Amino acid sequence: MNPHVIAILGGTGHEGSGLGLRWAKAGHSIIIGSRAAQKAQAAAAELNGKLGRDAVRGLDNAAAAQAAEILVLTVPYGAHAATIESVKDAAQGKIFVDVTVPLVPPRVSRVQMPAAGSASQEAQNLLGPAVKVVTAFQNIGAEHLKDAGQPIDCDVLVCGDDKEAKAAVIQLAAEAGMRAWDAGPLANAVIPEGLTSVLISLNLKYKVKASGLRITGIDA
Ligand SMILES: NC(=O)c1ccc[n+]([C@@H]2O[C@H](COP(=O)([O-])OP(=O)(O)OC[C@H]3O[C@@H](n4cnc5c(N)ncnc54)[C@H](OP(=O)(O)O)[C@@H]3O)[C@@H](O)[C@H]2O)c1
């Protein structure tokens, strides 16, 4: 295992804190990012309490992005572009994992993709070609991530245009208890992002908290 410094922008929320907990448990150094450094520090202290050691710290989003090698974005779609703009300089040359789903409330069980094709494509357009944007974890409900000891009954589709960046994210997913697949170029991000609304529909229809998906037919 190759330990990384990972900044989770919006890591004070449901999805980011769960990913942070699992990666910290696996031995990575985690920086929780927030619009407010104090809020990030409080979230980091809570995760350190769960871990029983200090593997997580909190900074504002820009400082977190500056201090890390891998950036992970976990904010609501309404905050997507503004958060990206706030870390654009710090992100240059780095892996940028976009977890954002372009949900448009209140109809979150309906697929409504942005004009660029996907949120991840918008991120690439905003950040420029030197940033290795990878899309991943859109289909992993935060509910699944909470208990860091439990493997997750849902696969991760990883899309991006940089093979090494995708391999790094697939490895990070495995270390966090998930099976992940290289699902092609960033142009394919429309599918995992759109699938989240399909899973939300399934949750509503079948009255479950977090349905998931599995890829079959490939020997892992
Ligand atoms: N929750 C899930 O089960 C799940 C599953 C898969 C994918 N996702 C996707 O992951 C992303 C994060 O989901 P989440 O449930 O973790 O969201 P969340 O808890 O509602 O928000 C995450 C963080 O985003 C920041 N934020 C919220 N509103 C903002 C605003 N208007 N401007 C700037 N920052 C704002 C907040 O951080 P600060 O206040 O600290 O800045 C917040 O703690 C979303 O795009 C979601 O679709 C979620």
pLDDT, one tens digit per residue, over 194-206 is 999 999 999 999 9
Q: How far is the CA of 139 from the centre of ligand 1 (A)?
A: 14
Q: Which atom, in ligand 1's list, is nearest to the CA of 141? A: 3
Q: How confident is the model at residue 159 (pLDDT cuts 50, 70, 90)?
A: very high
> Would the pLDDT of 220 be above 80?
no
Q: Residue whose CA is closest, atom 22 of ligand 1?
A: 13
> Would the pLDDT of 10 be above 80?
yes
> Would the pLDDT of 17 be above 80?
yes
Averaged confidence pLDDT in the chain? 97
CB distance 35 to ligand 1 below 6 Å: yes
Q: Residue whose CA is closest, atom 40 of ligand 1?
A: 34
pTM of the complete model: 0.98
According to DSSP, the β-strands at 132-135 and 29-34 are unpaired
Q: Residue whose CA is closest, atom 9 of ligand 1?
A: 100
The helix-helix angle for 14-25 and 163-175 (nearest 10°) equals: 80
* Mutation to probe ligand 1, out of 15, 87, 104, 138 (largest number of atoms < 8 A from CB): 15
> Would the pLDDT of 172 be above 90?
yes
Q: How confident is the model at residue 140 (pLDDT cuts 50, 70, 90)?
A: very high
CB distance 38 to ligand 1 below 6 Å: no
CB distance 43 to ligand 1 below 6 Å: no
> Would the pLDDT of 1 be above 90?
no
Q: Given strand 156-160, what is the order of strands in its sheet? A: 56-60, 29-34, 5-9, 70-73, 95-98, 132-135, 156-160, 180-182
Question: How many Å apart are CA 212 and CA 75, to the nearest integer?
Answer: 21
The residues, any chain, with a CB within 8 Å of residue 136's CB and separated by 6 or more, are 97, 98, 99, 156, 157, 158, 159, 169, 173, 180, 192
Instruction: Kindly state the average pLDDT of the residues 181-197.
Output: 98
Q: What percent of the chain has pLDDT over 70?
A: 100
Q: Which of 111, 121, 113 is nearest to 81 (CA)?
A: 121
- Say if residues 3 and 29 touch (Cβ distance below 8 Å): yes
Q: What percent of the chain has pLDDT over 90?
A: 95
CB distance 146 to ligand 1 below 6 Å: no
